[in-house]
Amino acid sequence: MAEATNSSGTIVLLSGPNLNLLGTREPGIYGTATLDDHVALARSTAEAHGFELTHAQHNHEGALVEAVHAARGVSVGIVINPGAFTHYAWALHDALAAYEPPVVELHLSNPATRESFRHLSVVAPVASGTIAGFGGAGYRLAVEALVSLLEAEGA
Ligand code: DQA
């Protein structure tokens, strides 16, 4: 028999390519905190609201697509920083479109203020909303945004 749990459900945090390098990758843009630091903040935020949080980072688009598939039916929502896949990964768009619970798109930087190739997000049309430009605090804000959507739904 499954163990009883007080959790309201599992939030899946997904990280795209090059985010494994956070801490040393272009610190002037992305800061010096590591991905582990960001995941810890996202997890403590989720837990403070009674949710569990799992995380996966992939440098390959197909692996991220499979992670979205694996989240179907077993999670209450996705927070995703798709990295550069944000701007062209239509297979990721389609995977998220087929995922029913809410999706929050997350970026450390604000792509709208950067190079023009970053101005298009193929994830935005299948996300409930986007948190961008708040650095590491975005991991807390994105989880809080997802929780508020879930609470509004009466989850
Ligand atoms: C990013 C923004 C993307 O344009 C970029 O390719 C990244 C990181 C961000 O978190 O600011 O890899 O998603």
Q: Which of 30, 38, 99, 139 is catalytic?
A: 30
In CATH, which of 3.40.50.9100, 1.10.1040.10, 3.10.20.30, 3.30.300.30 is domain 10-153?
A: 3.40.50.9100
Which tokens sit at 75?
């999670």
CA torsion sign for 36, 55, 59, 115 is negative
H or E element at residue 155:
none
Clarify whether 139 is annotated catalytic: no
Backbone dihedral angles phi then psi of residue 38, each to the nearest 5 degrees? -65, -40
pLDDT digits (tens, 9 = 90+) for 76-128: 999 999 999 999 999 999 999 999 999 999 999 999 999 999 999 999 999 99
pLDDT digits (tens, 9 = 90+) for 37-80: 999 999 999 999 999 999 999 999 999 999 999 999 999 999 99
b/e string for 10-45 if b means 16 or more Cβ within 10 A?
ebbbbbbbebbebeeeeeeebbebbbeebbebbbeb
**pTM over cut 0.85:** yes
Clarify whether 55 is annotated catalytic: no
Mutate to test the pocket of ligand 1, among 25, 86, 105, 113 (most ligand atoms within 8 A of CB): 86
